[in-house]
Amino acid sequence: MSSHPAVRSHLQTNLSGIRVPSGPATAVLLSSWILVFAMAASPASAGFREGRAAFRAGDHETALAEFRQAAGRGHAASQYFLGLMYRRGRGVSKDYAEAARWYRMAAEQGHPRAQYWLGVLYRRGQGVTKDMAEAFQWFRKAGERGNKHAQFWAGRMYQTGKGVERDFEQAVQWYRKSAEQGHAVAQNNLGYLYDIGKGVREDEAEARVWYGKAAEQGQPTSQRNLGILLSEGRGGPEDLVEGHKWLTISLTKRPHEEAASVLDSIEKRMTWDEIAEAKKRAEGWRPSSNR
């Protein structure tokens, strides 16, 4: 258990040359391929591609028209982009209610980003009545489809008990899904739960691992937590130079009285050369790009 709780806060060949199995299943498989190809060549898909190209070029008027036509034919990605445009006010006046309407259409078809953003709107009460339970349900759906941001929020809501009954074991599972995809705050929170032994066996070595991943991405709380573990030799060998480095980096971003106190105390155990090396490493550090 940490002594600084305040600081650590898953054959035939068709006409295109594709190998397919022979036998009774062939007709069903070919029918599925024909459906996929037909959908790809549909007017809705063509309109979406034109709309996306216009959106990326900054031509929001054309994008809006193309997305509207495709969305009216039930094209989920176009519905998502309309939600995005209304949420951001791109080519239209910002309108959270309209954003929620389009996000919902796409979300009900299983579009993960639309599910995530619909969850965000319910969590914030933007365009819909604030409803944490409804937000959780959409985060869970998007998380099950691999959206790392939704996975983080599912974990966060399990940890805090908002929108769902508090369950630290479930929080660990959802944070891990998100953390393994590089979500820095999920990595920090997973490290924290290992650090304090909530929902998982207390394991400071594992906490070090996840704090380290988040720290390298620039997450200040993890930088502080990692600095403390390293400087106190918890979860692995003591390393005053690295501990000093991470505490210094964290304090340049976010002042923290207790972290400053820890930094001051370890400097009294370091040589001048060690302090100089720690400061040099801190000055030369740059965040990784896996955000």
Structural domains in the chain (count): 1
**What pLDDT shows up at residue 23?**
52
CA dist 143 and 130 (Å) reads 20
* DSSP-assigned letters across all residues of 43-66: HHHHHHHHHHHHHHTT-HHHHHHH
Q: What is the pLDDT of residues 210-221, one digit of tens each?
A: 999 999 999 999
pLDDT for 18 beyond 80? no
pLDDT over 90 for what percent of the chain? Answer: 80
Of 24-33, 51-60, 85-94, 161-170, least confident by mean pLDDT is 24-33
Mean pLDDT, rounded, for 136-150: 98
Q: Is residue 15 part of a domain?
A: no
**What pLDDT shows up at residue 286?**
95
CB 103, CB 85: distance < 8 Å: no
**What pLDDT shows up at residue 61?**
96
Q: Is residue 241 part of a domain?
A: yes
Q: Is residue 32 part of a domain?
A: no
Question: Between 258 and 156, whose confidence is greater?
Answer: 156
pLDDT for 31 beyond 60? no
**What pLDDT shows up at residue 254?**
85
pTM, to two decimals:
0.83
Q: What is the pLDDT of residues 255-275, one digit of tens each?
A: 888 899 999 999 999 999 999
Q: What is the pLDDT of residues 91-117, one digit of tens each?
A: 999 999 999 999 999 999 999 999 999
Q: Is residue 278 part of a domain?
A: yes
CB 141, CB 113: distance < 8 Å: no
CB 164, CB 131: distance < 8 Å: no
Altogether, the residues listed in the chain come to a count of 291
Tokens of 261: 């106190």
Which band of pLDDT confidence, cut at 50, 70 and 90, is reported for residue 39? very low
Ramachandran region of residue 58, left (φ > 0), alpha (ψ -120 to 50) or beta? left
**What pLDDT shows up at residue 191?**
98
**What pLDDT shows up at residue 41?**
54
Show the domain range for 224.
212-291
Q: Is residue 223 part of a domain?
A: yes
Mean pLDDT, rounded, for 156-174: 98
pLDDT for 233 beyond 60? yes
Average pLDDT, the chain: 88
Q: Is residue 79 part of a domain?
A: no
Can you point out the beta strands (E) in the chain?
12-13, 19-20
Q: Is residue 27 part of a domain?
A: no
Q: Is residue 255 part of a domain?
A: yes
